[in-house]
Structure 1
Amino acid sequence: MSTREMIIALADELIRERGYNAFSYHDLSRVLGIKTASIHYHFPKKSDLGIAVVQDQLAKIQALKQQLAEKSPLEKLEGFLSIYSKIKKENKVCLVGSLATDLHSVDEVVGEELKKLSKLILDWVTEILTEGKKKKVFRYSEDPRTKAMLIITSMLASVQLTRLTKQGDFSVIKNAIVKDLKP
């Protein structure tokens, strides 16, 4: 892994653990054992790093979407839900959820990238639901975009709330989403 990739990975971790505004280049340099000048070489401003973190997540989501392109709607949905399962397993929060709380205090360019990521996720889940309903694999009464919003927000919230409840609530919610869609 290159220095640039290590900086992005650690920044992603810190954003999910502490929030965007709660870490500095000094924190990164201390953990990575590099000088802050090295971080500034790759990311002159913190907003440059924020953009890179969001774009990295965007690329991962696009890769997963491509990987699942030929799968059934249910397999695609399960692939999407696996993102949150991984986040939950790592005891983290969703990058979108973490950055959304800082939206009014981050540079506008970071916010714009976050909106692109959110749109990609929402559009993808909407496509999965539309395809699933068309193929009679899913049943739901809401508009596909509305149902996608319900699923995404349920997963986002469940990852955060189950950090507090310390119960099996995450799995219950995830399974309920899938069960609720079955005809």
Structure 2
Amino acid sequence: MNTRDKIILLGDNLIRKRGYNAFSFSDISKELNIKNASIHYYFPTKTALVIAIIQKHLILLEKFKEKVSEKDSVQKIIKFLSVYSITKSEGRISILGSLSNDYFTFTAEVQTELKILTNNTLNWLTDTLKEGRQQGFFHYDMEDRKKALIIITNILGAEQLSRVTDNYDFHKIKEAIINDLIK
């Protein structure tokens, strides 16, 4: 892994463990044993770094969509929610959960990138729910996008709240989301 990729990976981990406003280039330089100037060579600003991190997550989302494309809708949702479970088990929260908290502190450029990632996630979730409902797997009485918004806000909220309550609460909420869809 090259230095640029290491910086992105560490910045991503710091955002998802501490939050965007709770880390600095100094934290990265200490961890990687490099000078701040080395980070600035690749990312002149923290804004440039967070944009690269969001773009990495856009690529990861596309890979995820490809990986689950042949699965049925129930399996797609289970895999989708499992991504959040894995992140949670590693002591982090999702990039959407972390960055949405700091949305109003970002430049317009970062806000735009975050909106793209959020919309791509919501559009995939909406399409998957619609597909599952048409196939008779999912049962709910509202618009597909509204259900997608409810699911994503529940899982993002569960990430945050379970930091304070019991981590098992996160898993209870995840199971409730799935059970609610297939009731």
Find runs of 4+ consecutive structure 1 residues off by over 3 angstroms. none
Kindly report which structure 2 residues correspond to 1:1-12, keeping only aligned pairs within 5 A, or say none.
Answer: 1-12=1-12
For 1:52 and 1:120, the matched residues in 2 are separated by 17
Q: Decide which moves more: 71-80 or 160-169.
A: 160-169
How far off is 1:167 after superposition?
4.6
1:51 aligned counterpart, secondary structure: helix
Contact kept in structure 1, 2:137 and 2:182, CA below 8 Å: yes
* Identity %, equivalent residues: 45
Match of 1:31 in 2: 31
- The alpha-carbon deviation at position 45 of structure 1 amounts to 1.5
AA partner of residue 165 (structure 2): T
Q: TM (normalized to structure 2)?
A: 0.96
Write the distance in 1 (CA, Å) between the matches of 2:74 and 2:104: 36
User: Partner of 1:41 in structure 2?
Assistant: 41
CA distance in 1, matches of 2:87, 2:162: 12
Aligned-partner Cα distance in 1 for 2:10–2:167: 28
Return the letter of the residue paired with 1:54.
Answer: I
AA in 2 matched with 1:96 = L
Q: Report 1:14-29 matches (<5 A).
A: 14-29=14-29
Unaligned runs of at least 5 residues, structure 2: none
Q: CA RMSD in A?
A: 1.1
* TM-score normalised according to structure 1 size: 0.96
Which position in structure 1 is the counterpart of 2:151? 151
The residue type paired with residue 41 of structure 2 is Y
CA-to-aligned-CA distance 1:153-178 (integer Å, 9 cap, x gap): 11101111111112521111111111
8 Å CA contact 1:91, 1:163 repeated in 2? no
Where 1:104 maps in the other structure, the secondary structure is: helix
Distance, in Å, in 2 between the alignment partners of 1:167 and 1:28 is: 28
Q: Distance in 2 between matches of 1:167 and 1:45?
A: 35
Q: Partners in 2 of 1:98 and 1:169 — Cα distance?
A: 19
Structure 1 residue 125 corresponds to structure 2 residue 94: no
SS in 1 for 2:106: coil
Q: Does 1:98 align with 2:106?
A: no
The aligned length equals 183
Give distance in 1, aligned partners of 2:69 and 2:165. Answer: 35
